[in-house]
Each structure stands twice: as structure tokens, then as C-alpha cells.
Structure 1
Amino acid sequence: MPSANPQQLIPAEQLAQSPRRFPGESPQYRTARNALLAEEIELRRHIERVAELRRALPPGGEVPQDYRFESESGPVTLSHMFGEHDTLVTYNWMFGPQRQRSCPMCTSFLASLDGEMPDILQRVAFAVIARSPIERLAAFKKERGWRFLRLYSSGGNTFNRDYAGEDPEHGDNAGFNVFVRSSGVVRHTWGDEMGPETADPGQDPRGAPDAMPLWTVLDMTPGGRGTDWYPRLEYGA
């Protein structure tokens, strides 16, 4: 749905006169909270404008080959990953053969995606791709109790190099890509490009909006994300 014409929108400052009051709040708190609410409304509007621009991109490049992957049930090609859908979202998982264990950040994110996957798969196909052998990926999936993620090994192709900018000799990269299939032709439509070179001082590189629920929740708290904490694969009792 196209976003509304900004000239037709009620000013955020007008919408932000919240009738809510919390126990014990001061007038100073309410003034500051309403000012923040106006910024939150503007942020929501900007997120929708960016999403509209993303959807309106011209057709991307045709995929140069029908990449062959290994799935948990055998060989599969990129075109077959679409299944019944015309859109395929891929996530490059940082769990290449050079890693002893999965990237903790990717693991945290994939855990949240696993719970959302039954809903996501109603609208689009979704593939989680890494260069480790499929047996290793599947074993980690079982260890974490993931049920719905569809895993694919790209160890025998150049997908990660072509669409995640990976140099196999120097580690692996996380990243989203979106592909569409029309009349038998598969095209790339969007890939995230906000890496370390786009990060602002004092911030980790991340996309906008941030896809990780973990950070979205922490951003609502006074302590925020912190500067010296990241997810871990295991926590002590």
C-alpha cells in the first residue's frame, strides 16, 4: 500500500498529545515523553517511506546461474527454493567451515526467526545459507531446538562470494538478499549493504530497521544495547 502524502498527514506533534498517564509520572516526564512520541511517529513514517522506496526499485540483475545447494533432504537449486512463491529471502549465516561454532549474533537472530518462520512462509520462501556441510548445519539446528528454519549448504558454489561479498579465505559475512521469479527468470531485487564502512562512530554496523528483535527490545530500555555486551551461545546458571 502506498504511503500517504506527507502533506495530508496530521503533524506528529499533534498526534503525540497522548492521553495516557502512568502512576507517579511528573509533568516534566509527560512533556518529554510526548516530544519523544512525536519522534517515534516520525520514525514510523520514515520507515514506511524507506520500505516503499525499496519496493519500488527497478528490476535487479538476473541471477547468473541456478546455484546448486545441499539441503537437509538432498540437492536443490536456487530456483527450487522458491517453492510455490514468487519471492525468496535468503540469510547468509556466519557458520562457515573455518568456525568452531556458529556466530553468537547469527544464532540469536536465527532463534527468533525460527519462531516467526511459519508466518513468514505464508508470504515468501526463506532460506538460511552457510558454507559448512549440511550435516554440520543440521546438527546445530537440532542442538538449538530450531524446528522451522530451512537450511542450505553453499559449500559447493559461489553464492556467498557473489551475494554476501565473502572471501572464503577470510571468514564469512551475514546478510540478507531478496530474489523474485517471473516467467522462469530469477532476479535479485535487494541486498543489505550497510556494513562497517557505513557505521556511525561508536555504533555497530547494522541495517535499518534493525532486524534483530533483541536489539529492538533493548533499545526501549534506559541502558540500551550497552557498549560491551553481545549474545553468547551459552549462559551460566
Structure 2
Amino acid sequence: MTETLLPAAELAARNPVRILNESAEYRAARQKLLIEEYELRRLTERVAEMRRALPPGAPVTGDYRFIAEDGREVSFAALFGDHRTLAIYNYMFGPQRARPCPMCTNLLGALEGNANDVMQQMALAVVARSPIEKLNAWKKERGWKALQLYSDANGNWSRDYHAVGDDGGDIPGLHVFTRRDGTIRHFWSGEMTEGDPGQDPRGAPELAPLWHMLDMRPEGRAPDWYPDLDYPK
């Protein structure tokens, strides 16, 4: 039996928070916003429920080989370790790049801080097309410890799972796979490829906390600003 939820307006009306010296105009607008925030939270959960209820995805049948950080060649199945679920991020760091994509790097930097927690529940791998020596050097420069980087050994992964475009350029993406009863299947991938007018391209769910924080500014996120790999100290 599905529990009946109280209307978001009723929950907002119970809000006891008042900010010192706020105006009546501010409070009225804030209460309207609070209603939408309650609705957004519920929409987020409904989307997550729909994702979890997806039917079995396509079986993984390709010959995917990866070079691990220690130089070993490993299979796709080995990326799961002891877990039943695996997430792979396609890192925009192909051999044509001297340095990787700043946007991907920002996202992975935030994920680095949570990787050990994530890997208690699922396997996590970062795959790029550059040689493993190049990836290892970059990981050391960034000071990453937890993220596990892999080089696409034979290029099959990048071709089949949308990590390289027709022009040879890199394409980022997050993919989730399951291993059940000895069968590996695709479960979910981010497929939002177009932004709305006046917005920078973005996915949903938004993985990078950077953008959630910048959305808290009165100005919001700037559509023409992106993070750099390094900043002056």
C-alpha cells in the first residue's frame, strides 16, 4: 500500500524557520519556493524509483580489456571485484590531449572524496583512452588516492559505449552495470545530450556538486564559465 503524502503546501506551512530581520515579502516568496523544493525532492525520488524499476538491460558481450594502474591487463568482469554493481565513468583524457577535460576532472575530484564510501556498496572505475602511464602520472599530480583509473586497452570499450565520437574526440559519460546469476548487463547510462536554451549542457541527475553550489548564488551558474585544472596560489 502506497503511503499518502501530505501536500507540499501543507509541509511548507509548518516551516518554523524565520531569518532575523527578513521582510514579509521575502518570507512569502521563500514559502512559495519551499513548496517547490518539497516537490523537487519528491520528483527526485520518483525518478530514482523509475530507474530502479528498469527491466533487465542489454547483456554485455564485447571483448573489453583494460590496463590497470599496475600494468596488468584485466577483463571487464574483473572491474566488478566482489560487487554485483559496477559504475564506469568515461574520462575525457584521450591520447590527443596533453591534459584532461577540466569538467571531468572537477567531477572526479569530488567523487574522489567519496570513492571509498561508494566502493563499500558498488565497484567504481574510471576509464580513459590515454596510456596507463599518462593516467598514473595525472593521478599522482592530482593527489588522487581512491579512484581506480584504467586505460582502454583495445579501444572496444570506447567505441561501443560512446566514449569516442565520429571525429575521434572524447565523450564523457557514466554507465552502470549489474552482474546477476553470472550474467553482466547494462543497467543505466546518462543519455541527456542537449541543454535547454540559455543553459550549458547538463545531465540529470547532476553528478558534480560544483553546480549545485553555484546554483545557490543569486546569479546562479554562469553558462559561459567552466572550471580550470589549476588556479593561482
TM-score normalised by length of structure 1:
0.93
Alignment CA distance shift 1:168-1:131 (3 Å): farther
- The one-letter code of the counterpart of 2:132 is I
* Pairwise CA distance, 1:67: 1.1
Q: Which moved more, 1:37-46 or 1:18-27?
A: 18-27
Counterpart among 86, 89, 93 of residue 87 in structure 2: 89
CA distance in 2, matches of 1:124, 1:134: 23
CA distance in 1, matches of 2:230, 2:214: 19
Q: Which residue of 2 aligns with 1:45?
A: 42
Q: Which residue of 1 aligns with 2:201?
A: 205
- The one-letter code of the counterpart of 1:96 is G
Counterpart among 133, 136, 141 of residue 134 in structure 2: 136
- The one-letter code of the counterpart of 2:205 is P
Per-residue CA deviations over 1:198-223 (Å, capped at 9, x if unaligned) read x2111122111211100011111112
Per-residue CA deviations over 1:48-72 (Å, capped at 9, x if unaligned) read 1011111111111111224110011
1:61 and 2:58 aligned = yes
Q: Which residue of 1 aligns with 2:16?
A: 19
Counterpart among 150, 159, 166 of residue 161 in structure 1: 159
1:216 and 2:207 aligned = no
Q: Which residue of 2 aligns with 1:226?
A: 222
TM-score normalised by length of structure 2:
0.95
User: What secondary structure, in the 3-state scheme, does the structure 1 residue paired with 2:225 have?
Assistant: coil
CA distance in 1, matches of 2:96, 2:113: 28
Moved over 6 A (4+): none
User: What secondary structure, in the 3-state scheme, does the structure 2 residue paired with 1:153 have?
Assistant: strand
Q: Which residue of 1 aligns with 2:68?
A: 71
Q: 2:69 touches 2:136 (CA, 8 Å); kept in 1? A: yes
Q: Which residue of 1 aligns with 2:118?
A: 120
- The one-letter code of the counterpart of 1:234 is D
User: What secondary structure, in the 3-state scheme, does the structure 2 residue paired with 1:16 have?
Assistant: helix
CA distance in 1, matches of 2:67, 2:167: 21
Note the aligned Cα RMSD (angstroms): 1.4
CA distance in 1, matches of 2:163, 2:101: 17
Counterpart among 35, 48, 51 of residue 32 in structure 2: 35
- Give the unaligned 5+ runs of structure 1: none
CA distance in 1, matches of 2:224, 2:171: 21
